[in-house]
Amino acid sequence: MVKVAVIEDDLPTSNQLKSWIEAAKPGIHIDQWFSRDDAEAAIARENYDLVVLDIELGRERHAGVAIINAINKQHATPVLVVSAMPATIYRSIMKALDAWDYLQKATFEEADFIETFLEILRSVKDRKQHLSQNAAYKEAAKTPVADQLSMDPLRQRTPIWRGQRINLPLTAQRILAALFARRGQVVSYEDLYEVVKSGRNRDNIRKHVSTIRDAFREIDADFECIENVPMRGFRWVDDDAGRN
Selection from 78, 81, 169, 73 nearest residue 123 by Cα: 78
Confidence class of residue 140 from pLDDT cuts 50, 70 and 90?
very low
Residues 46-64: tens digit of each pLDDT: 999 999 999 999 999 999 9
The dihedral sign for the CA sequence 119, 125, 129, 132: positive
Please write the tens of the pLDDT for every residue from 202-222.
889 999 999 999 999 998 888
User: What are the beta bridge partners of residue 79?
Assistant: 51
Helix axes 170-181, 202-219, angle to 10 degrees: 90
pLDDT at res. 132: 58
CA 232/CA 94 separation, integer angstroms: 11
Per-residue pLDDT, averaged over 156-180, amounts to 84
At 239, the pLDDT band (50, 70, 90 cuts) reads low
- Measured at the CA of 55, the angle between CA 60 and CA 108, to 5 degrees, comes to 140
Interatomic CA distance for residues 167 and 98, integer angstroms? 31
Strand partners, 81: 53, 102
Name the nearest CA neighbour of 165 among 220, 242, 203, 244: 220
Instruction: Please give the Cα distance from 209 to 171 (Å, whole number).
Output: 10
Amino acid letter, residue 208: H
Q: What is the mean pLDDT of residues 22-40?
A: 95
In whole angstroms, how large is the CA radius of gyration of the chain? Answer: 20
Q: Which residue has the higher pLDDT, 148 or 24?
A: 24
Q: What is the largest CA-CA distance in the chain?
A: 61
Which of 64-78, 100-114, 128-142, 149-163 is the least confident region?
Answer: 128-142
Asked whether residue 15 carries a pLDDT value surpassing 80, the answer given is yes
Q: Are 47 and 29 in contact (CB under 8 A)?
A: no
Tell me the DSSP string of 103-152: EETTS--HHHHHHHHHHHHHHHHHHHHHHHHHHHHHHH-SS-HHHHEEEE
Per-residue confidence at 186, pLDDT binned at 50, 70, 90?
A: very high
